Amino acid sequence: MLDWTDRHCRYFHRLLSRHALLYSEMVTTGALIHGDRARHLDFNAAELPVALQLGGSEPADLAQCARMAEDWGYSEVNLNCGCPSERVQRGAFGACLMREPSLVADGVKAMLDAVSIPVTVKHRIGIDKTESYEFVRDFVGTLSLAGCRTFIVHARNAWLQGLSPKDNREVPPLRYEAVYRLKQDFPGLEFVINGGITQTDQIAQHLEQVDGVMLGREAYHNPWWLSQWDAQFYADAGQAELTRETIERQMVVYMSEQAAMFGTPWQTIARHMLGLRHGLPGARRWRQVWSDHKLKALPPEQVMALAHQRAA
């Protein structure tokens, strides 16, 4: 979710669900150690609970960045072993790390020794076209011996050659049964399933087999879906009175605050809420207004009024 789940996106999603664990974009260890830490790590306390997802492979660097995550107040640090992009492979991290479980285990142990917050791993069920359950079973087993207790599993292989990252989310077949089998073989570990999940009933079915469900692009493009989760999965009906208009107004207040404090243009924030009226009459015209850079000089309150006028 690079360039998607930034701090503004997470603030928006937290308005919709009080309880869902939110994840950052993947941030490389190099960017944190040598770059602008605050730019990558700062977040609004309202986003909590929130996990920092790291990309890296050197145990010492991972440990250093895990300490940063804990010091900054993150709820969890997550190591990405699932991203298949060629850029990530050139950095020797992401899905290609599944070929080196001992190195990943060293990284996990180094992070666990460095922090008290949970350390988790996100990975695929295999790499390239080899669909061997034993491969992912042994990967999980090796990491569990290093102390990892929670695995977020995208239920597809990652093809490291010949497919774009987009195709890697669609072409390799989904094999949910492999994730279910991991839970059966490692009942003491926590497994969160990911990949191709677009309906509430699918979430409920998966929760009968595993411990959690991770949602990515569907939640981003159809964010109002999140507003149902607290009541359905956390026995919290407190969000039942939410409306899309309430959320939009809260985001307008946030946009104004961010502009006043940091000079953040409202368009930088509004892009994350363009799916809020997904499926409603007038949604396209509403999106067009919030996407119109010709309106950038207007305050967000006026943009909202114009969006509603056009969508009516």
Residues serving a catalytic function are 83
Spatial separation of the C-alpha atoms in residues 146 and 143, rounded to whole Å:
5
Token pair of 158 as six digits: 């990652």
Spatial separation of the C-alpha atoms in residues 157 and 130, rounded to whole Å:
8
Q: Give me the numbers of helices (H) and strands (E) for the chain, helices first please.
A: 16, 7
Spatial separation of the C-alpha atoms in residues 41 and 6, rounded to whole Å:
10
Cβ atoms of residues 119 and 85 within 8 Å: no
Residues 6+ apart with CB under 8 A from 269: 8, 12, 251, 254, 255, 258
Beta strands in 196-279 (DSSP E): 212-214
Cβ atoms of residues 84 and 163 within 8 Å: yes
Q: Which spans in 171-243 are helix H?
A: 176-185, 200-207, 217-221, 229-233
Other Cβ atoms less than 10 A from the Cβ of 59: the count is: 19
